[in-house]
Structure 1
């Protein structure tokens, strides 16, 4: 996959997380839990975390992953 930011080849792999992962519109200092419209709790699993298949561009730092496909096993 080519990077949508810089156009270079991206490396495939897994984005791994432990416990909570969220995409928030603003930085929340005390909790990652969604507070605003548009915030999204991606993972809330205190026992095992989650794995997501994705791609990373080591040239510009962009990571692309499908958050609907969690706990991918290889």
Structure 2
């Protein structure tokens, strides 16, 4: 997929939430018994926030089903 901002190829993967509420990105979603930091392509998006709802600013286009965010 091309970046809508710069036109470069984007890496496909998964935005996921840990059991402690931190958002991360990786090439594949790690299993529940795997340390997420060891997942291929792991990038920490937000810090852990136990007992808090994690939030990150994002924009969405419901027509083309794309989400763009800065971390």
Per the alignment, residue 66 of structure 2 pairs with: 62
How many residue pairs were aligned? 53
Per the alignment, residue 36 of structure 2 pairs with: 33
8 Å CA contact 2:28, 2:40 repeated in 1: no
Q: Which has the higher contact order (CA 8 A, sep 6+)?
A: 1
- Tell me, what secondary structure is at the counterpart of 1:34? helix
User: Which structure is higher in helix share?
Assistant: 2
8 Å CA contact 2:58, 2:69 repeated in 1: yes
- With the length of structure 2 as denominator, give the TM-score of the two structures: 0.54
**CA-atom RMSD, angstroms?**
2.7
Structure 2 gaps, min length 5: 5-16
Alignment CA distance shift 1:41-1:27 (3 Å): same
Matches within 5 A, 1:4-19: 4=4, 19=21
User: Which structure is higher in strand share?
Assistant: 1
